[in-house]
Structure 1
């Protein structure tokens, strides 16, 4: 009798297993890509605080790009457009990238949203729209050189995003290592990795050297920035609180074979943008001018990168002729802070111009500095690990250096105070460097 019962139990289990296998065979036979779930969702600021740009991908063609959004429920709808993107690798990996602009947002308000084709929608995500005006204190996380392999800073950044610590993220070039690697699949995986961050906090970017494949096609197609929604320029600017932010492509100085006019075109736009930001009425409202670009003007790393050269291309421009150099231009218009990456390390500089330290005073170097302040923050974590420093000859303009994995935080406190700190992920989130920049007056340096 016992054996009969055991046999019956075995028979029932076998039937259940067979049913499970048949169900999975049927499921696997469906062309899942015909109904691919939206993925790689990320947001960025629009050109005004009442807008937010949403970008995502599907692996099979899905038209009718749609976002549902609202303050507590998704009772608003926005439509966008879809473009086919084919990676330049031998597999010709193809996906469809969708862009929608959310409009009529109430500044400084939390929204819920999902995106898709109107039928198959993504999970519901949230974001806070930008506050209006200049009388508030933006909190920003900044880093560059973050890869899909060894992305050490990501878990901590995800946790801090959930806590609502940031109003924006600045990713200062070099994504995934690389977006085009493995026929673009690494780019897919990287953007899915950072979706818990970039899908909930505006993810503002600039290109790095690791995006250069196929004329930066992966970068241009995967991101959407204000004033450059088609990403054909790779430079743009926007306002946030009491600051004017300028994002540039340093890579134009190194990839001339993609077009010899890209440097002068960017330089012309950049000077016009600085002229507008420096007008007295604009500077009074947004006194801080902050730039971000991938390759630094200065660094003290032990390699042969451009920033280790006495006359770096970014700093002085075209060799010998010195056309289109950025240091003189930024000095002329009184840029306050320059943010860079590229070197897999962290370095804070003393206020510096033309390789000379220009501190505010001996005791308070960052109070009314006589030149811009540079930060190099490229240690978020990637497969290439660290770029060591030169330890025997530390330049006089180098103030603090670290090889810890981590990222930076910036809070633009008000019109006169800007706070910066460096977080070490190696030291469990400890702040290993901090500085308050104080400026009673903003404008061209004497």
Structure 2
């Protein structure tokens, strides 16, 4: 059980008396996650020796570090030859005031992290959350990261969505590359909730580095989860269960059943009225026009159509429940599709294709930066492809209200220029408005 108490004197004593400790005692790789409750926030970090799991925090300015929350740590052994051991600490901060700014430090008397600051998310559905969205960011060549850090410091984002592929790879060099990546992204991930889904580069040792390092809503070791923010219900899932069947075909069936149940609940009329936007995030896209042999370049994509004989396909499922927006990565480029179902375009109109469209909108944003560089496109765009950009960059999204959502693509190659942007406008949501 985790307790949160206003232990002013204990907090100050811990912070002032903490010895520098060794590198193994020092908290690192600090990151936040949002569990769906605006009065709470999860703090996760790593040490390399056992230690208490404490977070000293308070309102900023004026009450920094006046409260202490306690949590627990999970021992994680990497699957590499050295069997390196680390301790993943998790503490939930509770009784936060929505919209309030907080300062915090995490650790124990053996060592404390540097101070970080975050703002608790707002409550209810009547507000406009802002997101940075990207996939495929490695330790080497993370070209978009400096700009993302700067914009996070400027307060441009409420949440970051990382749509798979981290570090390249978490397990490389007995997980030292994973450690270095999490240190590198800490300035972003420790300041706003860092929400993730697994990609193909997380597969090693049954996705163990991914499952242990992150603390997403629900089961902390799950590959899928959902959560609410403002007027949106966001679903994160694993496309990788379709491609690594040596871990068990039953995982595909289990995730599919979970997705259908979650979509059924989110689509209930009273829930859809409160949070009309349903947005999915998964790593490998159903469609793409890149010049490679990835799943999305095939007519019968596994993610789209499912396993033989056409079981557990996601396109029909998402279409059935009126998913509005599908976010993908994996391809190291940016591609915006027309509203699309089964290779057929269902634009709202010729003049306003994204106003009341008849099918989900797909965005592929996998060019944040990694050592594999960018992916080229086929020379002629497909009839369902609206915009293709082969630059390093990332996507911004703002959900203004129940009917209007703004998406734009930022090119890091072009010094932060916005190179694409659309209004997605839906006066009605749900399966009844799909063609």
Using structure 1 for the length normalisation, give the TM-score. Answer: 0.91
Cα RMSD for the two superposed structures: 1.1
The 2-side partners of 1:315 and 1:309 are apart by 10
The 2-side partners of 1:309 and 1:432 are apart by 28
The 2-side partners of 1:70 and 1:313 are apart by 48
CA-CA distance at 1:120 after TM superposition: 2.3
1:417 paired to 2:404: yes
SS at match of 1:185: helix
The 2-side partners of 1:201 and 1:177 are apart by 23
CA-CA distance at 1:131 after TM superposition: 0.4
SS at match of 2:355: coil
Which segment is superposed worse, 98-107 or 85-94?
85-94
SS at match of 2:252: helix
Unaligned runs of 5+ in 2: 1-19
Unaligned runs of 5+ in 1: 1-29
CA deviations 1:149-185 (Å, max 9, x no partner) are: 0000000000000000000000000000001111100
1:217 to 190, 200, 208: 208
Using structure 2 for the length normalisation, give the TM-score. Answer: 0.93
The 1-side partners of 2:234 and 2:384 are apart by 24
CA-CA distance at 1:31 after TM superposition: 8.4
Which has the higher Rg, Structure 1 or Structure 2? 1
CA-CA distance at 1:384 after TM superposition: 0.2
1:316 paired to 2:305: yes
Q: 1:67, 1:118 within 8 Å by CA — same for their partners in 2?
A: no
The 2-side partners of 1:32 and 1:74 are apart by 23
SS at match of 1:348: strand
Aligned pairs for 1:342-421 within 5 A: 342-391=330-379, 393-421=380-408
CA-CA distance at 1:208 after TM superposition: 0.1
The 2-side partners of 1:318 and 1:148 are apart by 33
CA-CA distance at 1:119 after TM superposition: 5.2
1:257 to 240, 246, 255: 246
CA deviations 1:71-126 (Å, max 9, x no partner) are: 13111111111111111111222211111111111111111111002452211101
CA-CA distance at 1:32 after TM superposition: 2.5
Q: 1:237, 1:246 within 8 Å by CA — same for their partners in 2?
A: yes
Which residue matches 1:284? 273
SS at match of 1:266: helix
CA deviations 1:354-393 (Å, max 9, x no partner) are: 01111001111000000000000000000000111001x3
1:71 to 54, 59, 69: 59
1:297 to 286, 291, 296: 286
Which residue matches 2:263? 274
CA deviations 1:266-298 (Å, max 9, x no partner) are: 111111100110011000000000000000000
CA-CA distance at 1:228 after TM superposition: 2.4
1:32 to 22, 36, 41: 22
Aligned pairs for 1:114-263 within 5 A: 114-118=105-109, 120-229=111-220, 231=221, 233-263=222-252
Q: 2:75, 2:87 within 8 Å by CA — same for their partners in 1?
A: yes
- Stretches (4+) displaced over 4 A: none
Q: 2:76, 2:88 within 8 Å by CA — same for their partners in 1?
A: yes
CA deviations 1:118-137 (Å, max 9, x no partner) are: 45221110111110001110
Q: 2:21, 2:110 within 8 Å by CA — same for their partners in 1?
A: no
Q: 2:329, 2:365 within 8 Å by CA — same for their partners in 1?
A: yes
Number of residue pairs aligned between Structure 1 and Structure 2? 411
Q: 1:138, 1:241 within 8 Å by CA — same for their partners in 2?
A: yes
Which segment is superposed worse, 418-427 or 257-266?
257-266
The 2-side partners of 1:312 and 1:54 are apart by 37
The 2-side partners of 1:83 and 1:439 are apart by 44
Q: 1:253, 1:314 within 8 Å by CA — same for their partners in 2?
A: yes
Q: 1:290, 1:338 within 8 Å by CA — same for their partners in 2?
A: yes
